[in-house]
Amino acid sequence: MRHNRSPNPPQPCMLTECMSIIAGAWAPNVIWSLRAGPRRFSELRSDIPPISAKVLSTRLSELEKRGILLRHVRRTSPPSTEYELTPLGEELIPALDGIVQVGHRLKQLQSADTDLAGTST
């Protein structure tokens, strides 16, 4: 058996810690939608069409508790609520950009594999 030459992750594992912050269905999409500035609940629902109101509400609460976003209740008539990223939440943007770039490359590889499989007959 070969030895793993990767350094041991620090304890607690920061990779696990960071991934737990963006865990949950649609959490990365919510962060992505807030990258350009504050959004209201209805705007986020429009930004992420497949998400249900219940799941969006749950994700927003979780991300707020984790320190990723802030919730602002505006004293308007009717009252409105806006969400925005905290400085910590903004630090996740480059990581999400990297994941998206790798996702594009993976999709290209899968497309190339599919094309090759279709032409080998």
**What pLDDT, on the 0 to 100 scale, is given for residue 121?**
52
Higher pLDDT, 60 or 6: 60
Rounded to two decimals, the pTM is 0.79
Q: Are 99 and 65 in contact (CB under 8 A)?
A: no
pLDDT in tens, 65-107: 999 999 999 898 888 999 999 999 999 999 999 999 999 999 9
Which H helix or E strand runs over 74?
strand 69-74
In this predicted structure, the answer to whether residue 120 has a pLDDT above a threshold of 60 is no
Query: Which contacts qualify for 74-80: CB closer than 8 Å, 24 or more apart?
Result: 80/40
SS3 content of the chain, % helix, strand, coil (to 5): 55, 10, 30
Look up residue 68 and give its DSSP letter: S
